[in-house]
Chain A
Amino acid sequence: MKKLAVRTLAAVLLSVPALPALADVTLLNVSYDVMRDFYKDYNPAFQKHWKGKTGEAVTIQQSHGGSSKQAMSVVGGLQGDVITMNQAPDINILAERGALVPKDWSKRLANDSVPFTSSTVFLVRKGNPKGIRDWKDLAKPGVQVIVPNPKTSGNGRYSYLAAYGWALKQPGGNDASARAFVGKLFGNAPVLDTGGRAATTTFMQRQIGDVLITFENEAEMVAREFGRGTFEVVYPSLTVSAENPVAVVDKVVDKKGTRKQAEAYLAYLWSPEGQTIAAQNYLRPQDKQVAAKFSAQFPPIKAFRVVDVFGSWDKVMKTHFADGGVFDQIYLKK
């Protein structure tokens, strides 16, 4: 027994100096839940690209979870080299608390640091029995709408903003009419799941509701999971562009000395290879040529950017989703 222990100890001691040679650099990508599939495809592609260019092997670790929780973990000290989220507030918080990134982080990469987007669309049951074509149909009495809770889910927030933005752009639309509209829409929601995936489960597995409001790329996941014959995707006349911003976490990469690799990791998202992997995962690429190649799976849609209609994300959060905000008032009025 003693001999074994000594040997084990010797083996451990011997292997310690060998470790850094095995993996030159390790990057931690802090991401949100449903990006798992995309980065599973993207990471090996980047590793190959980086090895070919510099001869250096990069290990990439992934951390996934609810987006706001993930952002809070980084604020709390999780050593993420890069952060890849589904809305700007989750990266803004890194600038506000602890100055982990500069305030103008979004200006450092192309397209406001958004390599690809998705859009909020509708899923309806096969044959569209309730005849749902556009947002106005969701507020009709007798239509059950499944939508995740905007208070706890980025997906829910985009759904809410898409509905609100559509109502604003209708003839004679203003804040009062938009509020009334989202009020009616959420009045038709029998369940508010805490996340987008949970809402999908409610709609597909529990067979509750006539329409599910979710991201276009989530609809694709549903198709793979439940089969294409079980539902239809409806594209509303106007929707929101759900942006997936990314950023290098300056404080962490400067401490770890991984800035070069982390920046290259994010920049590669905009390469034709990165954009193609995004398109294969049903995320709309920014690259026009790649987008053209995949035009069959991305029907043209009219989508607005949140910052164009609502000003800034900061304002959106304060006016609409903070406690006592517009979303809360929908329920308090009753």
Chain B
Amino acid sequence: MNLIAKRYSVLPGFGLSLGYALFWLGLIVLLPFAALALTASTLGWTAFIEQVSAPRVLASLQLSFGAALIAAAVNALMGFLVAWVLVRYTFPGKRFVDALIDLPFALPTAVAGIALTTIYAPNGWLGRYLEPLGVKVAFTPLGIVVALIFVSLPFVVRTVQPVLEDLEKELEEAATCLGADRWQIFRRVIFPAVLPALLTGSAMAFARATGEFGSVIFIAGNIPLVSEIAPLIIISKLEQFDVAGATAVAVVMLALSFFVLFLINLLQWWTARRHGMK
């Protein structure tokens, strides 16, 4: 322990700063979680199971997590592409496009929801052309996915971008000299380097998407068993002053999120080790 403290002496007082860090995390992160668990525990085990296994709750959890996974997957692909274009090419208005990426972060989500609904509603800008083709976006689960893709895009782009920027050109040049073709360079050199960041970004996008409420609620339609997201179930329980029931659903959401994030971390660790050994 002492050794580590001496080596990283930029911030003096390892013990003190560690103490502060843990205290801060406890206050900001763990305390609310403890309150959540405490409130849910007032229900008792049978009531808890009953609350979270109701058909409406199950359907909403399935929808929320399914839509979040699809959104994260789409963003992993498209976000990577966007990051690639922004790093590797110069074109007029690049800085402007770069700034655009952060907009979903800054926009109040309710505004995003209303904007998306205006576009995709059957009489909206895009909706009116999609409707005759039989594609309904607003007020269906598809609309939920669209909203989630929108709010979680910046996570992937912003985590992949710096890694791509730091990637040394020499590596690719060396690969070319050694006779690798473009696809091989991408697959063997670039992709492994970017993969951990891509996974982190996708994990954050997924986490953000599961809990999203404001932007989804206007475009979802909120029909029970069809397009009701889990956060809406929580809100409607709160409307009935059922705080314990609401926290029960929240606890299940947290547990599921934690499980998925843990899997992604495991995957990340595994890929890092595999490529580290090569």
A190 to B138, CA, bound (A): 11
Are A331 and B122 closer than 8 Å at their CB atoms?
no
Q: A317, B240: Cβ atoms under 8 Å?
A: yes
Q: Contact: B238 with A192, CB < 8 Å? A: no
Q: CB of A151 within 8 A of chain B?
A: yes
B181: chain A residues at CB < 8 Å are: none
Distance in Å: Cβ of A93 to nearest Cβ of chain B: 5
Query: Contact: B238 with A191, CB < 8 Å?
Result: no
CB neighbours of A97 from chain B (8 A): 241
Q: Are B225 and A206 in contact (CB under 8 A)?
A: no
Contact partners of A205 in chain B: CB under 8 A? 118
Shortest A101–chain B CB gap in Å is 15
B121 CB-CB contact with A under 8 Å: yes
Interface flags for B91-105 (1: CB within 8 Å of A; 0: not) read: 000000000000000
Closest to A193 in B: B222
Known: A194-B217, A206-B122, A207-B123. A69 touches B238 (CB 8 A): yes
Residues of chain B with a CB closer than 8 A to A99's CB: none
Contact A194 B222 (CB under 8 A): yes
CB of B192 within 8 Å of the partner chain: no
B115 CB to closest chain A CB (Å) equals: 12
B122 / chain A contacts, CB cutoff of 8 Å: 206-208
Restricting to A306-334, which residues have a CB under 8 Å from any CB of B?
317, 321-324, 328, 331-332, 334
Q: Pick the contact of B56 from A190, A201, A206, A328 — CB < 8 Å?
A: A328
With A191-B222, A191-B223, A194-B217 already in contact, the answer to whether A206 and B237 are too (CB < 8 A) is no
* Contact across chains for B239 and A190 when beta carbons are under 8 A apart: no
Say if the beta carbon of A155 comes within 8 Å of chain B: no
B19 contacts the other chain (CB 8 A) = no
Q: Which residues of B contact A332 (CB under 8 A)?
A: 55-56, 225
Q: Which residues on the A side are within 8 Å of B232 (C-beta)?
A: 152, 194
Check A323 against B54 for contact (C-beta < 8 Å). Answer: yes
- Name which of A205, A321, A334 has the most chain B CB atoms within 10 A of its CB: A205
- With both chains docked as a complex, state the minimum distance between the C-beta of B135 and any C-beta of chain A, in angstroms: 16
- B150 cross-chain contacts in A, Cβ below 8 A: none
Interfacial chain A residues near B117, Cβ < 8 Å: 206
Report the minimum CB–CB distance from A75 to chain B (whole Å): 8
Provide the A282-323 mask, 1 if CB < 8 A to any CB of B, else 0.
Answer: 000000000000000000000000000000000001000111
Q: Report A120 CB to chain B, min CB distance, Å.
A: 19
Nearest A residue to B226, CB-CB:
A331
Does B224 belong to the interface (CB within 8 Å)?
Answer: yes
Q: Are B237 and A331 neighbours in the complex by a CB distance under 8 Å?
A: no
Bound state CA distance, A93 and B123, in angstroms? 41
Query: Among residues 228 to 253 in chain B, which have CB atoms less than 8 Å away from a CB atom of chain A?
Result: 232, 235-242, 245
Set A190, A198, A323, A334: member contacting B242, Cβ < 8 A: A323
CB distance from B9 to the nearest CB of A (A): 35
Neighbouring A residues of B224 by C-beta, 8 Å: 192, 328, 331
Interface size class of A (residues with CB under 8 A): 20 to 34
Chain A nearest CB from B183 CB (Å) reads 46
Are B239 and A68 in contact, with the CB atoms below 8 A? yes
Q: Chain A's nearest CB lies how many Å from the CB of B55?
A: 6
Chain A, 186-222, CB within 8 A of any chain B CB: 189-194, 198, 201, 205-208
Query: Hey, which chain A residues are within 8 Å of B238, CB to CB?
Result: 68-69, 72
A192 to B229, CA, bound (A): 12
Closest B residue to A317 by CB, please name it. Answer: B240
- Say if the beta carbon of B218 comes within 8 Å of chain A: yes
Let me know if A102 is at the binding interface, CB within 8 A: no
Chain B positions within 8 Å of A71 at CB level: 241
- Given the interface pairs A190-B139, A332-B225, the reply to whether A198 lies near B121 with Cβ below 8 Å is no
Within 8 A of B (CB), among A161-182: none
- The answer to whether the Cβ of A239 comes within 8 Å of any Cβ in the partner chain is no
Cβ–Cβ < 8 Å partners of A193 in chain B: 222
Closest-by-CB residue of A relative to B242 is A323
A331 to B223, CA, bound (A): 9
**Judging by beta carbons under 8 Å apart, are A324 and B241 in contact?**
no
Residues of A within 8 A of B245 (CB): 323
Known contacts A151-B236, A190-B139, A323-B242; decide if A208 and B218 are in contact (CB<8 Å). Answer: no
25 A-B pairs (CB sep. < 8 Å): A68-B238, A68-B241, A69-B238, A69-B239, A72-B238, A93-B241, A149-B222, A151-B239, A152-B232, A189-B223, A191-B221, A192-B224, A201-B114, A208-B123, A317-B240, A322-B240, A323-B54, A323-B56, A323-B237, A323-B245, A328-B224, A331-B223, A331-B225, A332-B55, A334-B225
Seen from chain A, the residues whose Cβ lies within 8 Å of a Cβ on chain B are 66, 68-69, 71-72, 93, 97, 149, 151-152, 189-194, 198, 201, 205-208, 317, 321-324, 328, 331-332, 334
10 residue pairs, one from A and one from B, having the closest CB atoms: A151-B236, A331-B224, A206-B121, A68-B239, A192-B222, A191-B221, A207-B123, A152-B236, A191-B139, A152-B239
With A190-B221, A328-B224 given, name 13 new contacts (CB 8 A): A72-B238, A149-B236, A190-B223, A191-B221, A194-B217, A194-B235, A207-B123, A321-B240, A323-B51, A323-B245, A331-B223, A331-B224, A331-B225
